[in-house]
Every structure is written in C-alpha cells, then in structure tokens.
Amino acid sequence: MFCKVFFWASSFALAAVAVPAPGRCSGACGTHDPSLIRRVSDGTYFLFSTNGHVGVASAPSIAGPWTQRGAALPGPVKLPQGNDIWAPDVSLVGNTYHMYYAVSSFGSQNSAIGLATSTTLEPGSWTDHGSIGLSSTPGSPYNAIDPNLVKSGNSYYLNVGSFWGDIYQAQMSTDLTRPTNNPLNMIFNPIGSHSGEGSFAFQNGNYFYMFWSAGQCCGLNTNRPPPGGEYMIKVCRSNAVTGPYVDQNGVSCTAGGGTIVLQSHDNIYAPGGQGVINDPTHGPVLYYHYMNTNIGIGDGQTILGWNPLSFPNGWPVVESANSTPTTSRVVPTSNISSPSGAPMYGQWYVTLFPKEETLLTYWEVEVSDGLVLRPARREAAMFSTRIIPSVTKNIL
C-alpha cells in the first residue's frame, strides 16, 4: 500500500536553499576559537576560548546559560614564545583532560604547541607541562598553532597549522607529550595566501572528517574582504585519520580540495574556528564562532554558534536545532510514494532511534514504530522505507 505525502515537494525545495540559524545560546556566549566538551562526571558543558589565558565558561546545556568561570592558565606558561595563548583543544584521554594550546603572535610563524592537563576541567585545576616539542619558525613548512588531538584505534594524532603550508599532522607518543614523527601535510589551499587553519578531525562511521576554516578570520570591521573572502568552514574526508583526504567531488585536499559546510548567511557572518561534539540530545553537533552583523563584526564580537550535523551521502550537513513541525509526519511503516504517486528511489538512513526528546526537522519522517529516517538526498524527494520493529511511542 502506498501513502502519498504531498508536503514533501515544497519541504525539499526549502531544505535545498535555506541555511539553518545557529542553535540558541544564552548567557556569556562570547568566544573565539571555541573548544567545547561535556564533563563525564556530571554532564556540565565547558567552553574554552582564545582570550584571557584561555577563558573558561560552563553551562548545564549546549544552549546555556553560559557563565564565565575565569582562566584555565592564569599564570605564565612554560613556552619561550610568550604568553599569548591561542586556540585551546580539550579532550578526555582516560581519566584526564588534555588541553593542547598554541603560543604565537598574529601573522607570525614564531609559534609553539603546549600541553596542560586536569581531572576536573575547572579553572585553576590545570597543570601546565609546557612545550610538546612541536614548534615553527620563519621558513617552516607550517605554522605551529591551532592544535587538535584525534584518536584512531589505539593511537593519537595531533593536527596543527595555519596558512603557509596549512594543515599538518603528527602521530603522538603513548603519553601524548611528544610527536613521534615530522608532521605531514593533510590540507593545502594553493590559492592566494593559502588560507587554511583551525582543523578538527571527527570520526563518523567509516570516515574521518577534517573540518577546517578558510578565509579571513579577523580585522573584518576595518578590512572587510569581498563576499566569500571571510571565514567559512570546509571539510574533507578519508578512510584513515592519516589521509589522504578528498572533498565531495573527489579533489585531493592537498591540491585545493574542500567542500563548504557553513559560510556567511543572513546575519551570520564569518563562521569558523570550529569543532564537533557528540551531544546526548542532538547527536553530532558542529560548534563554531561567528559574528552577528546586527551587532557588529569586530574581533571582540564573535559568539558561540552550533548546529546539529547529519551525514546524507556520507557528507556533513548543518541542520536546525530549533525546528518545529507544522504538520504531523507520522506515517505507516509501508512504502511511500511521491506526490505524483510514482515510487521514490534511493535509501533511508537512521537519524535517531528512538525519537523521544527532539522534534523532527522538515526533511525527516517518523514511521509509526518510532524509527526516524530521512532520505539519502535531502534536496531531492527520493527514498524507500525500511521497517525496524520498535515499541517506542510516537511523539507527534
């Protein structure tokens, strides 16, 4: 039996052109180069930023309300390059939180990566271990800033880089205090000033996704580039954390490849400095800083943005965190036809199971057994159903 769902045509047209707004953020939402992590002991969210010797804020949810907590590293750090601390990257390894950070000056290759650890994430609890032995000087192939730790199997790798040769990667020692090899190039933008920085690697399924920022990050209020020249978020992927990485068109990401995930839209300007967190409510979430053009585009006016991610066709797409269905979309577990009655082709994939707490976005459909699926191509109404028994009740 076929069930015609007439709203799909207009919904898919909207999905193809509309860019979802960032999720709600309340409280102290100011941030630059954010690193977002959820404490395992109590579920508290911590936000680390480039400012004030690594500014720290905390909140009960990703939406806030955020409260400023002070500085993670209030004293001098053990690096000769200075105390201007940038781009913290915080992750949990075993029972200890590791924060890799960079020390540099704007536009310089006199840079180095340091490490601090804590068991609680709280300001004042961090022990600074100083340099990890990864630094750069003028003439180096990379700039040793914007660190990001990623795990593959039992091994850890550190991504670094900004402009010059862009993104490089080194395998880390078992105690995570030293690289074990010379960094290798992962991402290179051959155009212009070679803008590429702020990498963040995230595993989803069989792929590693390398998110990175391209374009101009700063000084936008005094030296605004042509549209498209400001910060934006791109992605490349690989079957292995060590690459090779390609974009959605198969172009090598050491030869200029890179698929845009999020760029300026509406009043959202210059999104970048991104990371991805697995959130218990929203699933994979892309977080980033951006400027609201209704407020201002000065360097001190960047704020936290976030959007859930889906992976249709194996590539990340930003979704709305605030969707409210306008009509019921619960349908029987049967084949579904197009508005004209012809069967639709393609495949479903599971977005969330069971669907209990969050509302459906407008390109999702919930079958009557509670399983939530969406089409493989959200911009085209082409799909067929899968039936997976469930006792989960419908919420719509």
Residues annotated as part of the active site: 33, 197
Alpha helices in the chain (DSSP H): 8-17
Joined together, the tokens standing for residue 349 give 């994939």
Place of tokens 């409210």: 324
Residue 91's DSSP bridge partners are: 98
- Among residues 100, 71, 202, 109, the alpha carbon closest in space to that of 158 is found at 100
CA atoms in the 13 A half-sphere facing the CB of 214: 26
Maximum separation of any 2 CA atoms in the chain, in Å: 72
Cα 20 to Cα 185: distance, rounded to the nearest angstrom: 33
**What does DSSP assign to residue 140?**
-
E strand map for 280-359: 283-292, 302-310, 317-318, 330-331, 336-337, 348-352
Residue type, 296: G
Q: 3-class secondary structure for 45-91?
A: EEEEECCCCCEEEEECCCCCCEEEEEECCCCCCCCCCCCCEEEEEEE
Residue type, 263: Q
- Among residues 212, 205, 204, 207, the alpha carbon closest in space to that of 186 is found at 212
At 204 the three-state DSSP class reads: strand
10 phi, psi to nearest 5 deg: -70, -35
Q: 3-class secondary structure for 207-244?
A: EEEEEEEECECCCCCCCCCCCCCECEEEEEEECCCCCC
Joined together, the tokens standing for residue 131 give 């340099």
- Among residues 95, 93, 49, the alpha carbon closest in space to that of 72 is found at 49
Cα 306 to Cα 259: distance, rounded to the nearest angstrom: 19
Q: Are 322 and 328 in contact (CB under 8 A)?
A: no
